[in-house]
Chains A and B, each alone.
Chain A
């Protein structure tokens, strides 16, 4: 069974631009969560989508948004990029409300 895939793996953007990251969950998984990882901060929860609906949201500004498609694939968008948005963005999928999420390799975003 293929794992969680994320594209692109690396991205360089400049301040003020916007970016869209993509995540394809494990086949059959309906829940997709997004996390931001920065040095010393661990993984900060962004939001979770289940069956195309956002069912949980972390404490991030409205510049961070996401969506999920009918095939469970998910995208995350960050508008008006700031230098502090430079991070590793991880996507995780799970079947339902299961505890054990499976993570993708992440997208490394650098904002200059």
Chain B
């Protein structure tokens, strides 16, 4: 029973274009959402987060959108760069519970 889902295991995007990574959740109790990036042989690195009281948060090339009614969030990377190639995990939090999605592997092609 996955509470946080990332239905696309992989995504390929051309350098310079927009990358859109999607995440769906089932538990309406989640009140904070995060995206992490993970390179091989390294631990995940925090990327960007959003509180449930907001619908958008931007940090440089990264923007996270939250649609609470649809229980959906997305991460936009513009423009995409080859160094963005990694596995991206969506995570949701409430109380003391952290739940991670299975990840989406992004490949940015030069």
Contact = CB atoms under 8 A, between A and B. Distances in A.
A5 to B, nearest CB: 10
Interface in B55-99: 89, 91, 93, 96-99
Nearest to A48: B96
A99 B32 contact: yes
B100 A43 contact: yes
A90 B49 CA distance: 20
A43 B44 contact: yes
Contact of B44 (A56, A90, A99): A90
Interface string A100-112: 1111111000000
A100 B43 contact: no
A91 B101 CA distance: 17
Nearest to A91: B43
Nearest to A6: B43
B45 A103 contact: yes
Contact of A45 (B6, B34, B46, B99): B99
B43 A104 contact: yes
Interface size class of A (residues with CB under 8 A): 20 to 34
Contacts of B44: 43, 90, 103
The dominant DSSP class at the B interface is strand
Contact of B46 (A42, A44, A56, A101): A101
The interface size bin for chain B is 20 to 34
A97 B31 CA distance: 14
B12 to A, nearest CB: 19
B102 A4 contact: no
A92 interface: yes
B46 A102 contact: yes
A4 B89 contact: no
Given A4-B43, A45-B100, A92-B43, 12 more contacts: A41-B102, A42-B103, A43-B100, A45-B99, A48-B96, A56-B97, A91-B43, A99-B49, A103-B45, A105-B41, A105-B43, A106-B43
Interface of A: 4, 33, 35, 40-45, 48, 55-56, 90-92, 97, 99-106
